[in-house]
Amino acid sequence: MTPSHSPGDHVRTRLILVRHGQTDYNRDGRLQGQVDIPLNDTGTRQAATLAASIAVIPPDLLVASPLQRAERTASIVGEASGLDVTTDAAFLERGFGRWEGLTGEEIRRHWPTEHADWRAHRPVVGLDVEDRPEVGDRVAAACHRLVAENIGRTVMVVAHGAAITLGITTMLGLDADGFRGIAGLENCHRSVLEPLQSDTTGRLMRLVSHNLAPDFI
């Protein structure tokens, strides 16, 4: 497949990061983490809207987290654009250990000290909550690999809110543990990044667009 770009544009390498469609946990305000639950009807409709927009100028490669909410979102996009979906566990959501499936109020009630640490952006110890830098590093490493293997092409990755936010933070060269300046993506919204041409190490990206709606073309 030839690299995707508009006539008259210079060929560029692009990375598009997409958050999956809505699930019942999203709707109910439950911390999802790596619990594997499906899209709900709203999420399926969001994915269909996204798919129609993406099909106008489809990516060259489509990759997803293996969790079904991300893989199904990617599959709907792929069906509209004639693309197969591959999965990569590097794009799993941040693990939240014993908190997965709970609301913020339930966490606060059962683990008040740890909840206070979490809200104050301090590390949470002893509950198997994955550290922010660890998530940022694994997502960024996988993104860098895909970009390096697809120079001049557009790569789309369908993943998860926290994983994407931390991955972007790391790819911008910022501290994933301390920097909170990247807003989270809404369901089926997407961000676009490109390699930072001035970076001689090849490790930094620039954020071109952020939190684009599913129907944005």
CA 8 to mean position of chain CA atoms: 30
- Six token digits for residue 170: 């790391």
Structure tokens at 119: 């809200």
List strands edge to edge, sheet with 190-195.
86-87, 61-64, 154-159, 14-19, 190-195, 205-212
Give the active site residue among 20, 115, 144, 160.
20
Among the options 5, 10, 79, 93, which is catalytic? Answer: 93
DSSP string, 116-146: HHHHTTPPP-SS-BPPHHHHHHHHHHHHHHH
For 27, list phi and psi in degrees, rounded to 5.
-60, -40
Using CA atoms, how far residue 197 sits from 59, 143, 176, in Å, is 21, 16, 22
C-alpha to C-alpha distance for 209 and 201, rounded to whole angstroms: 23
CA distance 217 to 202: 29
Is residue 71 part of the annotated active site? The answer reads no
115 is catalytic: no
- With helix as H, strand as E and coil as C, how does 188-217 read? CCEEEEEECCCCCCCCCEEEEEEEECCCCC
Kindly list the catalytic residues.
Answer: 20, 93
